[in-house]
């Protein structure tokens, strides 16, 4: 316990000790040891963060946009300079391997770079002579205080990629409810943003339970909510925040599917599926947990997947040679194990069982090896619901049409992909799949940050997605200004038509 540090929350660029006296454990996923305690902030402390952001809004929104993005340029450079430190921090508190942890930080940096183009993306429209002598200009303006509720699985990319950059570049201020399981990455990145010159109150950070976080959904000074997490919680957040007049974007669960046709290059496809299914130990909403495989090649595909999965090296997340690190917590490992039992009970064939894996020297880490189920049927819960772990289900299908129908019958629609050499089927799939992010021979079709992250159905609630032009639109509102300047002739008018503005003389 002597090595366990107590973390603080941040308001007005000041790191403060909570008055609650209550803390939540942050563990090293690779060892099972508690490495820190993060505060369970009081409702008064959450309110304090909102008040700080509200006070900062007026000056920050009136700061020229080039100065706002200038801050992000400096922030991007500091992220790059501290990339290795941040990657180790992600790996230690979350459990994804070092390469994936670097990717988490790099994806945040990518969105920061994209947000530097905000002066272009915020440009409005104008039209001269919309009516006789009248001109109209449309402006995009910041709205006020936004709050972000952050999940545990991407502690760099989601808060400091999807949320903060476009929010503050467009002139808003922000209150972050960081994940209590993986808070240190967000805290360190906020330190770097402050080092880059962040004005007081523009970004504030708290950690707390759902009870305290609910204040953000109803607070009159919070104008919008962005959330990433479970669909069940997300639906409640969407309904509560919307009922309180706030803009809301909710990114929920996923059950992404892949379709493997018989003409696919099986060895290459199998390697890609292994990465897509077991990368980040399956703890990402763009993982590939279900593949539909044409029957003619199903035996070969399952054999290749098993061979490649067994070759993955399981170890501590921060070791350079680790392929598959631990899951985030012991509770989560137990939850994933429960899903494996569920699959067995449902009658799926357990080809590879990753439970009871042992990592020498790390007996208390939260390790779970790769799991492969074959002969899964579409109605099984393991095929329908999000497991969020290193579990892959194989469904055997007769043809393209059966596979596509199974995929589209799922209630979630974040991502989908097809593996084929056929241009026809690639195009048909892209056109007819329900998913918002589609890959053709790409297992994780996450778009670069110039495009939005476009989940559909039960994977997203709201009108505007994160990143890209949608991100700018979510954090701004439109204002149309119509103006007219009178000539000497106009001054002689005696009557104006109130419908079209034309002048009539007596």
- Quick count: other Cβ atoms within 10 Å of Cβ 244? 14
Confirm if 473 and 480 have CB atoms less than 8 A apart: no
Please identify which of the residues 41, 208, 285, 417 carries the catalytic annotation. 285
Q: Which residues of 78-103 are buried (b: 16+ CB within 10 A; e: fewer)?
A: bbeebeeebbebbbbbbbbbbebbbb
**Residue among 198, 157, 203 at smallest CA distance from 52:** 203
Smallest CA-to-CA distance from 65 within 140, 137, 159, 136 is with 140
Distance CA 313, CA 322 (A): 6
Of the candidates 372, 276, 368, 388, the one whose C-alpha atom is nearest the C-alpha of residue 30 is: 368
Q: Which alpha helices (DSSP H) does 368-490 contain, by range? A: 381-384, 400-408, 423-432, 468-474
Beta-sheet strands, E only, within 60-196: 125-131, 134-142, 145-149, 173-177
Q: Which two tokens stand for residue 399?
A: 């043809």
Q: Is 431 exposed, middle or buried (0-12, 13-18, 19+ CB in 10 A)?
A: exposed
Distance of alpha carbon 350 from alpha carbon 338, whole angstroms: 14
Is-contact 459 252, C-beta < 8 A?
yes
Instruction: Count Cβ atoms within 10 A of the Cβ of residue 489 and give its class: 0-12 exposed, 13-18 middle, 19 or more buried.
Output: exposed
- 197-231 exposure pattern, b = at least 16 Cβ within 10 A, e = fewer: ebbbbbbbbbbbeeebbbbbbebebbbbbbbbbeb
- Is 285 among the residues known to form the active site? yes
With tokens 């559909």, the residue in question is 456
Using alpha carbons, select from 443, 445, 423, 459 the residue that is nearest to residue 291: 443
Give the pair of three-digit tokens for residue 461. Answer: 């609630």
Q: CB within 8 A of 468, min separation 6: which ones?
A: 114, 447, 449, 450, 451, 452
Positions annotated as catalytic residues are 285
């Amino acid at each position: 316990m002597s090595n366990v540090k107590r973390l603080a929350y941040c308001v007005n660029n000041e790191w403060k000790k909570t008055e609650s006296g209550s803390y939540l454990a942050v563990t090293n996923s690779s060892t099972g040891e508690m490495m820190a305690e993060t505060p369970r902030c009081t409702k008064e402390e959450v309110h304090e963060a909102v008040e700080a952001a509200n006070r900062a809004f007026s000056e920050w929104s009136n700061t020229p946009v080039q100065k706002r993005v200038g801050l992000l340029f400096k922030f991007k450079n500091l992220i790059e300079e501290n990339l290795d430190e941040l990657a180790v921090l992600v790996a230690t508190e979350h459990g994804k391997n070092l390469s994936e942890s670097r990717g988490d930080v790099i994806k945040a940096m990518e969105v920061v770079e994209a947000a530097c183009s905000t002066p272009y993306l915020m440009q409005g429209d104008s039209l001269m002579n919309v009516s006789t002598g009248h001109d109209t200009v449309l402006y995009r303006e910041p709205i006020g205080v936004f709050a972000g509720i952050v999940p545990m699985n991407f502690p760099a990319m989601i808060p400091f990629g999807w949320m903060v950059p476009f929010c503050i570049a467009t002139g808003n201020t922000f209150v972050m409810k960081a994940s209590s399981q993986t808070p240190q990455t967000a805290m360190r990145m906020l330190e770097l943003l402050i080092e880059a010159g962040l004005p007081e109150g523009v970004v504030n950070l708290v950690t707390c339970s759902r009870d305290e976080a609910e204040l953000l959904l109803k607070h009159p000074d919070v104008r919008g909510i962005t959330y990433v997490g479970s669909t069940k919680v997300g639906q409640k957040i969407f309904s509560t925040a919307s009922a309180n007049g706030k803009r809301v974007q909710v990114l929920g669960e996923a059950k992404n599917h892949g379709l493997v046709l018989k003409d696919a290059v099986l060895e290459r496809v199998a390697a890609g599926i292994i990465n897509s299914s077991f990368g980040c130990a399956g703890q990402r909403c763009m993982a590939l947990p279900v593949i539909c495989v044409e029957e003619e090649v199903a035996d070969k595909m399952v054999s290749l997947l098993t061979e490649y999965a067994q070759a993955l090296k399981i170890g501590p997340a921060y070791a350079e040679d680790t392929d598959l690190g631990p899951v985030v917590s012991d509770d989560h490992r137990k939850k994933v194990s429960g899903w494996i039992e569920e699959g067995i009970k449902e009658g799926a064939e357990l080809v590879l069982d990753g439970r009871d894996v042992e990592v020498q020297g790390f007996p208390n880490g939260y390790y779970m090896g790769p799991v492969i189920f074959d002969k899964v049927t579409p109605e099984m819960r393991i095929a329908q619901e999000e497991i969020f772990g290193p579990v892959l289900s194989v469904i055997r299908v007769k043809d393209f049409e059966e596979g596509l129908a199974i995929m589209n019958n799922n209630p979630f629609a974040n991502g989908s992909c097809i593996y084929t050499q056929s241009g026809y089927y690639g195009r048909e799939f892209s056109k007819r799949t329900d998913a918002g992010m589609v890959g053709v021979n790409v297992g994780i079709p996450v778009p670069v940050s110039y495009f939005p992250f476009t989940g559909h159905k039960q994977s997203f609630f709201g009108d505007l997605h994160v990143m890209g032009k949608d991100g700018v639109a979510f954090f701004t509102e439109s204002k149309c200004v119509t103006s007219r300047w009178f000539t000497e002739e106009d001054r002689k008018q005696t009557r104006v038509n109130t419908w079209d503005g034309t002048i009539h003389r007596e």
